[in-house]
Amino acid sequence: MFGIELSEVFLLAKQLGFALAGAAALWGFVFSVRDFKCGERDCLIYDWLSSKLYFLLFLGGLFGVIFHQVVQSVLPALAHEGVVLYPRISDFHRALQITEPVVWLVAILLLLSLIINRLKNKLFYKFLSPFYLVSFILFFFLTAFPAWIGEFSRLQFFFNGHGFHSIFTLGTVLVLDYLFIISRNSFHLKQHIYPMFSTISKVIWAGLAVDFLSALLIIENFVVNPKFLFAQTVIGIIIINGVFLSGPVARRLFASARNGESRMEGGWQILANLAGVISVSSWLSITVVDFFENLTLSYGALFGLYVSLIVIIFIGHQFLEAMEAKDKPPVFIH
């Protein structure tokens, strides 16, 4: 339907899973090491934040492992941003052979971490930092090799950059939104999380830069079609929305945290929520569209679906915030 193949859906699910897991590992590691130079209360907060990201890592990693096994059959490795350039089947098979041992290593690591977390909780938290670091390296490798042409060349670097940037873009955007939701009902969480938003945003910008640079390596393969035009429109929205998020919204967030306010005044809370939803929807949209080679939808239909996705995610965002309000953080971080 609409030129969408089931195999492409499996590839998309694999990429989304590993991107989310890689981003959760990255920021889980950052929070776990921030307690090296902090007071006792701050250390507890950073440790708690780090532990909260384990859920995202496990969920994303599980999805990635499952769908990696599903795509063991002959499938195309798809390109990005309207660029029509696909590796040969032999290139894809080589990538599967390279990444297969790593996928099994990830599966074993996830299983062991779950068992230790349940049975030896203190031991799990003791080794949380190295666990996140090793996990990030593994997920980075898995996302960086959608195909292997047998040598490092312009084409190979395009495939590498096209793959791993999703950890720093889509995956990090999802982590950022998750942190925003869980911090909403805690003044102390806001004081620790909000100052990091600018750093997280810079990582997202860096991921976008990697995406652009990798695409420029094969610029001669650009094809102007509805999918390409839609992707460029959404990237423009990402840039404008990112400036808004890292500028006036960020300043309002910091001010509300310093003043101990539960919500920003003057409609800024809704604007902040909407800007975050647009960021998530935008990265998700261009990632999804890129994975469908023969998509037949028009530009208008794609943009209509994009707006609908924003509405749906915004409603879901409000629901998650209401649910999170019932699940309050521990007393030591109120």
Residue 2 has a pLDDT of 63
Long-range contacts of 58-61 (CB under 8 A, 24+ apart): 58/21, 58/110, 58/113, 58/114, 59/17, 59/20, 59/21, 60/16, 60/17, 60/18, 60/19, 60/20, 60/21, 60/22, 60/24, 60/171, 61/17, 61/18, 61/21, 61/106, 61/110, 61/135, 61/139
265 HSE (CA, 13 A, CB side) = 5
- Supply the Cα-derived Rg of the chain in whole angstroms: 20
Give the dihedral sign, CA 267/268/269/272.
positive
- Token reading at 48: 């708690």
Mean pLDDT within 92-114: 86
Phi, psi of 266 (to 5 degrees): 70, 30
Q: 30 or 212: whose pLDDT is higher?
A: 30
Mean pLDDT within 128-148: 90
- Token reading at 63: 């999805």
The rounded mean pLDDT for the chain is 80
Residue 278 has a pLDDT of 92
Judge whether residue 273 has pLDDT over 80.
yes
Q: How confident is the model at residue 47 (pLDDT cuts 50, 70, 90)?
A: confident
Q: What percent of the chain has pLDDT over 90?
A: 28
Distance CA 31, CA 133 (A): 12
